[in-house]
Amino acid sequence: MKIFLKCNEAADVCNKSQYEEAGLWDKITLAVHLLMCKLCRNYSKQNVKLTQTIKSANIKTLCSEEKQRLKTRMQQEGNIESKV
C-alpha cells in the first residue's frame, strides 16, 4: 500500500469520494496528498462546490415513458428524423 498519491490519482480519489465510492484507505491517502498539494486542495474544494450546486439545483428529468411520448410527438410533427 502506498500512502503518497500522484495528482492524477488524487483527482480520481477525489471524484470517487464525491460519489461515496472511495474506501477508507483512499480517503486517508487523499487527505495526506491534500495536506501537501495546493492545486489538488483547490480542485477538491471546487469539486465539492460543484457537487453541492448540482444537488441544490433540484433538476428533474423525464421518465422513459415521457421521453418516448415526446419523441413520438416530435416525429409526428416532423421535427426530428425517425432514426433518432
- Using CA atoms, how far residue 45 sits from 34, 38, 41, in Å, is 10, 11, 6
The per-residue pLDDT of the chain, averaged, comes to: 89
Measured CA distances, 50 to 15, 35, 81 (Å)? 11, 21, 35
Three-state SS string across 16-28, please? Answer: HHHCCCCCHHHHH
Q: What is the pLDDT of residue 84?
A: 47
Cell of 40: 489538488
Q: What is the rounded distance in angstroms from the CA atom of residue 6 to the CA atom of residue 42? A: 15
Span 30-62, pLDDT tens digits: 999 999 999 999 999 999 999 899 889 888 888
Residue spans per domain, the chain: 7-76
